[in-house]
Chains A and B, each alone.
Chain A
Amino acid sequence: MELCSIGKLTTNKMEIKDILVIAKEFKDNPGARDKKDGPNSGEEFLEDLFIGRFNKAINEKYIILVDLTGVWGYPSSFVSGSFGKLSMERGAELLLSHLKFKSDNNPLNIDKVINEIKNPTPSKK
């Protein structure tokens, strides 16, 4: 791992070693927030696919490129149940340092996910 220092700011310069294409590896029609709310939920994505890959990226110090392309549309509940929930548990800074996002057809999807990571929506119990 290479350290990059600019003035007072010191960041870990990591490489992208994993690419997660949501439309191919999960579903192209994401659903609700929690598993109990229906299929293709954010929680399902987080627990069954994403968390393992994310933990590996932290342990081995690399970045995952999350490809948001090819999905019919991201409901806010899905984004909140996956990226938002993880951000509440592990912190936005950790997520943003280990994740990069790509969305070829709709760049606004990247803003939606990053905004949710920075300001996660709490679950309504």
Chain B
Amino acid sequence: MKILKIIIVTLLFFIGIAVGFCVKNWPIIEFNKEIKVYELFNLLLTTSIGIFIPFFIKRWIEDNRQVKNNLIEELKSTLRETECIKDKIKFCHSRNSISSSDKDEINFLFEQSDIKFHCLSELFISTYDSETKTIRTELNNIYMSYWKIVTGGELMTTRFTIITEDFYRRHNESFSQYEIKIKQTINKVHRL
């Protein structure tokens, strides 16, 4: 907007000089009396459209693209943040043991992922609030479901000292649903 203001002020300045010059040297410009008024307006209008429309439309398209790129980048980084939880569980599974400090770390990673997820939701609200209501609800439900599957069952109990195959399978299924939803959302953002 600042650039636009500078351009307008500069244009007004030069128009002012031109008008002043014309008035001072009147009738330096002699109008052809055969030209009709609407033809003059037509010329001015065409010139304005030719100059300003591409400028504004290009700018509007670029702004929209930038907003969408930001959203897509945020979606990708939210997925990366949640992937840290998956990596931790994968590590514990391959090590064949999980300690209470590992469980605390998983909860902490969820806390970090929550903050990122909240940031993503806020970004959606501030850019495409009404258009993304359903997308946000679906994403939220899948994310909450993933949190419940990981931390809502046997993981937090002291008896759970190794990542069982059953838990690992349920975790992977839930994570992959979340990952698919994020990737589908990226496609939807492209089409917004």
| Interfacial residues, chain A to chain B (CB-CB below 8 A) | 29-33, 37-39, 71-78, 80, 105-109, 111-112, 115, 121, 124
Contacts and interface: CB of A to CB of B under 8 A. Distances in A.
Main secondary structure of the interface of A (DSSP, over half): loop
Contacts of A71: 111
A92 B150 CA distance: 25
Interface bin, chain B: 20 to 34
B42 to A, nearest CB: 57
Contacts of A124: 153
Contact of A38 (B109, B111, B157): B157
Interface stretch (B1-9, B47-55, B113-121, B167-175): B113-121
Interface in B70-107: 100, 103-104, 106-107
Interface of B: 100, 103-104, 106-111, 114-115, 117-118, 140, 144, 147-148, 150-153, 155-159
B88 to A, nearest CB: 12
5 contacts: A37-B159, A75-B152, A75-B155, A76-B152, A109-B114
Main secondary structure of the interface of B (DSSP, over half): helix
Contact of A74 (B107, B109, B118): B107
A78 B108 contact: no
A71 B107 CA distance: 10
A111 B153 CA distance: 19
Given A38-B158, A108-B114, A73 B152 contact: no
Contacts of A78: 156
B91 to A, nearest CB: 18
A32 B144 CA distance: 17
B147 A112 contact: yes
A108 B104 contact: no
A30 B111 CA distance: 13
Nearest to A30: B107
A108 B118 contact: yes
A31 B156 contact: yes
Given A72-B104, A73-B108, A76-B148, A106 B118 contact: yes
